[in-house]
Chains A and B, each alone.
Chain A
Amino acid sequence: MTTIKWCIFGIFCLVVSGNALAQQPEQANDSVERAENAGMIWFDRMSEALRRLNFEATLVQTQGDRIQPMLWMHGRHTDDLEVELLIYLNGADIRILRLGDHTSYYFQPTDNSYSLQSDVTYGLLPAAFYDKFERLQPYYQVLAGRGMRVTGRETQYLRLVSRDNSRYHYSLWVDRESGMLMKMQMMTPQGEILEQIQLTSFQQRAELPVSLNDLRGVQRPPRLHDSRPVSPAQLGLVPGWMPAGFELQRSNRRYLYETQVAADYFLYSDGLTDVSVYLSEASEQGLPPLAFEGPESFINAIINGHSVTVVGKLPLDTLRRIAENISTTKTAVN
């Protein structure tokens, strides 16, 4: 009698567990969707915080064995003008000052300072972090995960990955209270960390930090612009393959910055990541085939007598594929 009971119980267990197994994939999808929705909400909170908060922070940026401590301040005047200031504390005195959409880069002791018309402070974070996630959504996914304590604060963890796994990934830790970004890691799809930003102190203020008050009067350097003549690309070659979402931003023929190497140039962007492609006569350029992966990866390949050089914040495999797929103008992307 007992054996029969156990048998029935066993069958019952099997049925139940079978059902559970069948439901699992669905539940997994469900939880991914939930994580994604939460992730987008948190990402947008972060971008809002980067625009609105009044704060004074110190941070450390590391790239490989290089360490750069920085001072980071941000706030809004009562008339809503945004002020942001970044100061590099090691080595050359570099300051980035932004008032509204006027960003200036000050370099000491060399005096090649310049200004940009830009309402994001390019130099610390990807420009896309200042905007809503919406624009990145077709090609990237942001997933909310379990946070931890960072810089003494409870944070929300966000994982920003490309949908086709062809780009670098970001890990973000966002303060639960203010939405502020407290820590960031950029890594290869294999998980090797290439760059980190870690806030070491963070003070939120009710008003604009005092030290940002007077910066409206500071002298601004001249605006950056293309000083050398450019003409349309003329080799009749174009990149024939790009990861999904990359669109052509610029294309021209000119001399490479501060050199005599003429190149057809193409700049592509997917909204978060940018990649440059240079095409020149191999005999004119003279660089051997070489490649390396890092915060900015680089590849130089010689294909049919042309030097193909690709530079960008992308895994080397992706750059290689771009370089190997240069085609004649007819099959151009975009």
Chain B
Amino acid sequence: MSDRRLEKTSALLDNQVADQQQLASELDVLLADEEACQSWQRYALIGQVMRGEAELNQPLDISAQIRSRLAAEPAVKDTVVKPDFGQRGRPAGNSGGILIDAASRWLKPAGSIAIAASVAVVAVLSVQQPLIDPAGTDGVEPTLVTTPFGGRNPVSYNTVIEDNNPSQAELAQQRQLLQAYMRDHQHQLQLSLQERQSEAEPEVSPAAPVKPKADSNDNN
């Protein structure tokens, strides 16, 4: 590409071509020439950098990289979630085939979207990493609400000394009670939601396979 044409490209970019007709024809020439297009892109980038508009540290064109990455990705299908839903609670002989079919197909999306989901987790993890307290997690109180308490064995009672500090067993019991409150709250919310629904719309939606409401008087 000649220096003169480079100069033209640069002039075009900086809006330095005064004559409208000349501008149009120069643009046509430019767009027809791939090499010129590339230099146009470079000039535009240089302009952006000089004006401080360009995003630094960004690969300029990641489409090619993504394409090659995707091609290299192994085709993962149904390997993440093992379908076992169909086997449980299957009524013996009673339209079992349809149920299993439906149930196993139900699992399919979990397999095919699992990659996207795992990528998402990694993204969130890496953001959260710096926030983790290096002092350890022993003292983090709120986790006691969300984690199950199976690991804690009650300590024998003869070690208990009369003081203000509760024993391990008492603590375990208190945590259990705490959990019970949390669960009870959830339970009541759901019952209340159900109650509100049956008050609000007594008619059953046409296609929903809802049992006849024999048990609706249980809610009180």
A residues contacting B by CB (< 8 A) are: 56, 58-60, 62-67, 69-71, 73, 77, 79-81, 85, 87, 89-90, 93, 99-102, 106, 108, 111, 116-120, 122, 127, 198, 200-201, 209, 211, 213-221, 223-226, 230, 249-250, 252, 256-259, 261, 265, 267, 269, 274, 276, 278, 285-288, 292, 294, 296, 298, 309, 311-312
Contacts and interface: CB of A to CB of B under 8 A. Distances in A.
A141 B99 CA distance: 46
Contact of A267 (B95, B113, B173, B192): B192
B218 A287 contact: no
B60 interface: no
Interface in B169-209: 173-174, 177-178, 180-185, 187-198, 201, 204-209
A141 B208 CA distance: 35
B146 A58 contact: no
A81 to B, nearest CB: 4
| Interface size grouping (class) on chain B | 35 or more
Contacts of A89: 81, 110, 114, 117
Interface in B92-128: 95, 98-99, 101-103, 105-106, 108-110, 113-114, 116-121, 123-125, 128
B211 interface: yes
Given A79-B207, A100-B205, A215-B102, A64 B142 contact: yes
Given A220-B209, A265-B188, A276-B185, A285 B177 contact: yes
B89 interface: yes
B208 A200 contact: no
Given A127-B193, A224-B191, A288-B166, 8 more contacts: A60-B117, A64-B142, A67-B124, A69-B117, A101-B208, A117-B210, A214-B106, A230-B220
B25 to A, nearest CB: 37
A230 B191 CA distance: 14
Contacts of A259: 177, 180
A221 B91 CA distance: 12
